[in-house]
Structure 1
Amino acid sequence: RDSSGQRGLPGDGAAGAVGARQQRAARRLRLNAAEEGWRRILSSRTLLLITMGVYVPQIAAGIGVLATNWNDPNACDLEHLLKWRWWALVSVVRMAAFLLVMTMDHVLVDEERSPLREFVLRTGGEEQLILWHDKLARGKHLVDVLGLVWFIIGNLWVLSDDDSSPGQGKSALFILCVFFIVVYYIQICLPCAVAVAAIPVLCFCLPCLLRFMVRMQDAEAHAERRGAEEDVIDRIPIRKFASSQLSSDDDATCAICLCEYADEDQLRVLHCGHAFHKDCLDPWLRLNGSCPSCRAKVTGMPDTEMAPLTAASREEDYGSVPAERLAAGGVGGGGARQDGVDFV
């Protein structure tokens, strides 16, 4: 402050601190969004459908080729024939076993009305269901590890053979093995490519992505989602932002859209103290009932802590909402007071 008691212009150090804090908040939010997106993408049913789409054609092709070319006349010699034959056969068995274990796990855990789940619950209760889920999860991981080992062996047997003959490319077994290996390479590299492609989307298009994800949910996913209910979202206090009392080191940026708050902007103030644009936060909470910044749960809060505001109080301008207080979790306690402003 100067001698008259007025605030001076922010210095370079304060501006740098504000920028660093905004970057950390935005980075944390996008990591949370990425985690939530991957959790939904890798949900049991979605992952099962993707796995079936990848494995079923390979299993069908493997069975057909092995049945018609068990003694492939185009194989280089007996040694190569045995390598290709048994590597392809074990690969088909591995994919079928993985698909079977994954399907059983989905039916037991996620299909609440499945006969298998009801039978396990009726005979052994919830403890038996959890035990079966753990066994199937370990079995799935074991098949995954064995598949990786067998993939390495296939590279050595099929692609690293120096004694290949000119007629090797005519062998149906050899082509089948190469096809399996190429698909496995795609399975390994595709998640990395998707993650790299998702970085610009998460950085620049997160609000649009949230709205798109909300509209893409079908009725069943809508019923099973982990987002907050509409009545819970409606009970979160709404405040109008005012910059008249904003200090130089306050963070006045919405971490979802990365836009600075403007006067009269409607902000929802979560119980943890973080605040966001109402139009940005509501779609987020419909997908994930937790704070985008600190992951504090919004659902399940006691009604005494989320008492609904009256119509008059919702429309009232509560004056300045210092962003430093919002980011640090200073809002949310009943009767709290700062800069002469009461927060409910």
Structure 2
Amino acid sequence: MPFILCALICCCLPCIISLMGFREDLDENRGATSDAINALGTYRFRSKKPRNGEANEGGGGVFAPGTDKERAVSAEDAVCCICLARYVDNDDLRLLPCGHFFHKDCVDKWLKINALCPLCKAEIDVVPRTAPPAIGFGRRDSHRRVGNDIESQRLP
């Protein structure tokens, strides 16, 4: 009898504990809706023009040329971290609220499965948060886009 009781405790107790206490929230990793995905900005990538006959293979470029979102992209950051392909001239890129950008087709497939940025895991909010944080919650972190890296800075 003690053997059966001991075996029952050793085998069944961990299963019961995991079922009761460590259930994942099923809504936590749901994908974004098509409307939410389409509300995100889409921009073009322009390759840098080679200088004096230099080849531009694997070079950087400009994200969203001619818009307020325009920024230079180094050769190191001119890669989609989902498919690992380099951005080429006139690629359509999707800009996420966290400031990261990816091939439009790649990130759209990702967001249908999981509504988080594939790089920093920030939630994809289509409604901009313009209200200041409530008093007593301290300072907010702001993330500024630098290539495919995030540089954090504190807001006053």
Where do 1:79-228 residues align within 5 Å?
86-87=2-3, 89-105=5-21, 225-228=29-32
Higher helix share: 1
- Give 2:86's aligned residue: 260
Question: C-alpha separation between the residues in 1 aligned to 2:147 and 2:99?
Answer: 5
**The one of 294, 318, 325 aligned to 2:120:** 294
RMSD of the alignment, in Å? 3.5
> Structure 2: which amino acid aligns with 1:227?
G
User: Is 1:241 paired with 2:84?
Assistant: no
Identity %: 36
Task: Give the SS at the match of 1:267.
Answer: strand
How many angstroms does 1:224 deviate by? 6.9
User: Is 1:232 paired with 2:36?
Assistant: yes
Paired residues of 2:94 and 2:107 also in contact (CA < 8 A): yes
**The one of 91, 97, 104 aligned to 1:271:** 97
**Aligned length in residues:** 115
Q: TM-score, normalised by structure 1?
A: 0.28
The change in CA–CA distance for 1:102 and 1:271 in structure 2 (over 3 A counts) is closer
Question: C-alpha separation between the residues in 2 aligned to 1:257 and 1:227?
Answer: 19
> Structure 2: which amino acid aligns with 1:228?
A
Higher strand share: 2
Task: Give the SS at the match of 1:226.
Answer: coil
Structure showing greater Rg: 1
Q: TM-score, normalised by structure 2?
A: 0.56
Paired residues of 2:45 and 2:91 also in contact (CA < 8 A): yes
